[in-house]
């Protein structure tokens, strides 16, 4: 995996929904991270619910996480609801943290 993508993912693990004590990556909200030949990052992510009151904050925090990675010149975050998020998308650690086992 590209080191820039790895660094972006590590940075995304520091982004939290204020209502959930698990980062957005382990929650399964991040569907894709890519970096193009111009060093621009593209993140495709979702929210736990379409009406999430902190949607703008999470999108901007994800964008800033990507921009903080070494060599990234710009970052774009696309919000999608296809497929819809569900608990099965969480990492095992996230399910443990939230008591879903």
pLDDT in tens, 31-41: 999 999 999 99
31: in domain: yes
96, part of any domain:
no
Instruction: List Cβ neighbours of 5 (8 Å cut-off, separation of 6 or more).
Output: 33, 34, 35
- With bands split at pLDDT 50, 70 and 90, how would you rate the model's confidence at 8? very high
Q: Is residue 77 part of a domain?
A: yes
Residue 23 has pLDDT above 90, yes or no: yes
Question: What pTM was computed for the model?
Answer: 0.94
Q: Would you say residue 35 lies in a domain? A: yes
Looking at residue 18, its pLDDT comes to 86
Q: Tell me whether residue 47 is in a domain.
A: yes
Instruction: Please report whether residue 92 resides in a domain.
Output: no
In a domain, 93, yes or no: no
The 3-class secondary structure across the chain, one letter per residue, is: CCHHHHHHHHHHCCCECCCCCCECCCCCCEEEEEECCCCEEEEEECCCCCCCCCHHHHHHHHHHHHHCCCCCCEEEEEECCCCCCCHHHCCHHHHHHCCCC
Domain count, the chain: 1
Q: How far apart are CA 84 and CA 27, in angstroms?
A: 13
Please indicate, yes or no, if residue 12 is contained in any of the structural domains.
yes
Q: Which tens digit of pLDDT belongs to each residue from 41-90?
A: 999 999 998 888 999 999 999 999 999 999 999 999 999 999 999 999 99
Report CA Rg, the chain: 13
Per residue in 92-101, pLDDT (tens digit) is: 999 999 998 6
Residue listed under structure tokens 């921009």: 67
What is the residue range of 62's domain? 3-83
CATH number at residue 18: 3.30.300.130
């Amino acid at each position: 995996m590209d080191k820039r993508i790895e660094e972006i993912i590590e940075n995304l693990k520091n982004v939290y929904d204020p209502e959930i004590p698990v980062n957005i990556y382990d929650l399964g909200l991040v569907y894709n991270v890519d970096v193009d030949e111009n060093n621009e990052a593209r993140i495709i992510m979702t929210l736990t619910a379409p009406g999430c009151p902190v949607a703008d904050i999470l999108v901007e925090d994800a964008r800033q996480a990507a921009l903080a990675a070494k060599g990234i010149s710009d970052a774009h975050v696309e919000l999608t609801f296809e497929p819809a998020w569900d608990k099965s998308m969480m990492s095992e650690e996230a399910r443990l943290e939230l008591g879903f086992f």
